[in-house]
Structure 1
Amino acid sequence: MNDLIEQSCEACRADAPRVSESELAKLIKEIPDWNIETRDGIMQLEKMYIFRNFKLAMAFSNKIFDLAEAEGHHPSVLTEWGKVTVTWWSHSIKGLHKNDFICAAKTDVLWNE
């Protein structure tokens, strides 16, 4: 288990630094099933989870909402029949912060519960 899940998000101000290229290379290895997507020039972490039905997808989405509130960091969550797509990025810095990797790792823990 990686050490990201033992960490908590820190307050992220507009002047907080984005992860560096070297940090990105290290952190992405800790969440290998996540993809880096760039939208409107903003790097984001994204992963799709597959479910047998809508009810299970919604239950997982609710767990993510609880995580987001607990961490004070909020993703984009698209819930559809049989799948949930989760996208983490730091809105205030328009890019990736360590908080995004912490929450991505914790999302995977929720998936495995």
Structure 2
Amino acid sequence: MSDNLAQQHCEACRVGAPLATETERTDWLKQLPDWQIEQSDGIDRLTRQFSFKNFVQALEFTNQVGELAESMAHHPAILTEWGKVTVSWWTHKIKGLHKNDFVCAAKTDELFKS
């Protein structure tokens, strides 16, 4: 399997699946320099804010991230505001970070670049 996160796909994740290790997080974050691990409600989340020229562009990006989420069967929190969108990925079933979150973050970056 490719080391490039953006080229990978989410795997089915069940309750009890292992959280990403500190080593995995560190390695994967090297591919995601604009993302931060933040804690909310005691749960680590992978978060990034994207900037846009106006609300219409922000909304278009929000919809693209929504389509990505549906295609991966993995859904983030998305906050859309005038000129910015904040995306947070985490795996609800295990209440923390899984490889799927890093894969989806990389795919989100690819959407932003296009």
Q: Is the TM-score greater than 0.5?
A: yes
Distance in 1, matches of 2:6 and 2:73, equals 15
Q: Deviations over 1:38-65 (max 9, x none)?
A: 1122110000001111000000000000
State how far apart, in whole Å, the 2-side matches of 1:25 and 1:59 are. Answer: 31
Give 1:44's aligned amino acid.
R
How many residue pairs end up in the alignment? Answer: 112
Structure 2: give runs of 5+ residues left out of the alignment. Answer: none
Specify the alignment match of 2:88 in structure 1.
87
CA deviations on 1:63-92 (whole Å, 9 max, x unpaired) are 000000000100000001110000000000
User: Please, what is the CA RMSD of the aligned residues?
Assistant: 0.8
Separation in structure 2 between the aligned mates of residue 77 and residue 41 of structure 1, nearest angstrom:
19
Report the counterpart of residue 45 of structure 1 in structure 2.
Answer: 46
The amino acid that maps onto 1:109 is E
Structure-1 residue corresponding to 2:111: 110
Which residue of structure 2 aligns with residue 21 of structure 1? 22
1:76 matches 2:100: no
- Measure, in 1, the Cα distance between the counterparts of 2:82 and 2:58: 7
Misfit runs of 4+, over 4 Å: none
**How far apart, CA to CA, are the structure 2 residues paired with 1:109 and 1:73?**
17
Report the AA paired with residue 88 of structure 1: W
Correspondence for 1:66 = 67
Structure 1 stretches of 5 or more lacking a match? none
Q: Deviations over 1:9-45 (max 9, x none)?
A: 0111111000011111111111011011011221100
Q: Taking every aligned residue pair, what percent have the same amino acid on both sides?
A: 54
